């Protein structure tokens, strides 16, 4: 049996969590601005006050706040504070965009299957930090991008979409990272669109697309399953 759809998500209010540069946040801002993505960017939260992404958000007229993890006594308490800020703004979907914190249970439980992350490798290869360098040093011939739902397992949730990026013999870590980043900027808005505009479900580890909301299922249930 194909499991029941988890989607659709009730609203289109996005919260974005960042820690730094914010180029993926910018990709979401740009996609909204040019009509490719129909969402409201409700709030951007950074755990660092020097994150360049905070400025990008403010320039786009989006509320941008810093919530430093150092101000809370434990990871749990910090995560509860994040949940409170997101819920106050009636956020439906949370996008991690270079947020350098492992999420704890309070956050994951408050937004079940409602938190996305983007990772610069073809997971499950090269989880964790410096994924592009890990891939380069390993000598893989294709690298890439993964957008996935966030669970308690680091970089381990169900995969929404992946994009492949070739590794060239002439590459350095820097040139490869730049090519991966350009693909990230296309992939993230696309993944958000899938979550909001399509019917989908999670079957074990698998994120399964069932078709557009309101349309007949694009995926025929398999007989005998
Ligand atoms: C990106 O490479 C993303 O995949 C990873 O962290 C980096 C964030 O970059 N999770 P930016 O802040 O979005 O520019």
pLDDT digits (tens, 9 = 90+) for 189-221: 999 999 999 999 999 999 999 987 655 444 444
Residue owning the nearest CA to atom 5 of ligand 1: 98
Q: Yes or no: say if 163 and 198 are a contact pair by the CB < 8 Å rule.
A: no
Q: How many residues does the chain have?
A: 225
The Cα-based distances of 23 to 11, 56, 111, 135, 197 in angstroms read 24, 9, 24, 21, 24
Q: Which helix (H) or strand (E) holds 15?
A: strand 13-18
Q: What is the whole-number distance in angstroms between the Cα of residue 28 and the centre of ligand 1? A: 12
More confident position, 224 or 102: 102
- Of ligand 1's listed atoms, the one at least distance from the Cα of 26 is 13
Average pLDDT over residues 54-71: 97
pLDDT classification of 5: cutoffs 50, 70, 90? confident
Report residue 23: phi and psi, to 5°. Answer: -70, -30
**Does the pTM of the predicted model rise above 0.75?**
yes
- Of ligand 1's listed atoms, the one at least distance from the Cα of 27 is 13
Q: What is the whole-number distance in angstroms between the Cα of residue 128 and the centre of ligand 1? A: 12
Residue 79 CB less than 6 A away from ligand 1: no
Residue owning the nearest CA to atom 4 of ligand 1: 119
Residue 120 CB less than 6 A away from ligand 1: yes
56 pLDDT higher than 90: yes
pLDDT classification of 224: cutoffs 50, 70, 90? very low
Residue 119 catalytic? yes
Report residue 206: phi and psi, to 5°. Answer: -95, 130
Cβ-based neighbours of 221, under 8 Å, separated by 6 or more:
1, 2
Output Rg (C-alpha) for the chain, integer angstroms: 18
**Of 119, 138, 148, 185, catalytic:** 119
């Amino acid at each position: 049996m194909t499991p029941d759809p988890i989607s659709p998500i009730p609203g289109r209010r996005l919260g974005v969590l960042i820690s730094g540069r914010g180029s993926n946040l910018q990709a979401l801002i740009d996609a909204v601005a040019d009509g490719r993505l129909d969402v409201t960017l409700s709030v951007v939260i950074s755990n660092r006050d020097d994150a360049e992404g905070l400025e990008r958000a403010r320039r786009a007229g989006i509320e941008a706040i810093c919530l430093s993890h150092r101000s809370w006594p434990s990871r749990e308490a910090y995560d509860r504070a994040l949940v409170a800020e997101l819920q106050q703004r009636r956020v439906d979907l949370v996008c991690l965009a270079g947020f350098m914190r492992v999420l704890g249970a309070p956050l994951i439980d408050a937004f079940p299957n409602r938190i996305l992350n983007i990772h610069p490798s073809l997971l499950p290869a090269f989880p964790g930090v410096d994924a592009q360098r890990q891939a380069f040093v390993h000598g893989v011939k294709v690298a890439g991008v993964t957008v996935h739902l966030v669970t308690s397992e680091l970089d381990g949730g169900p995969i929404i979409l992946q994009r492949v990026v070739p590794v060239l013999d002439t590459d350095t870590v820097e040139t490869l990272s730049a090519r991966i980043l350009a693909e990230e900027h296309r992939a993230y808005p696309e993944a958000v669109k899938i979550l909001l505009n399509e019917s989908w479900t999670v079957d074990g580890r698998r994120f399964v697309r069932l078709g557009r909301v309101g349309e007949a299922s694009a995926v025929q249930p398999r007989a005998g399953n």
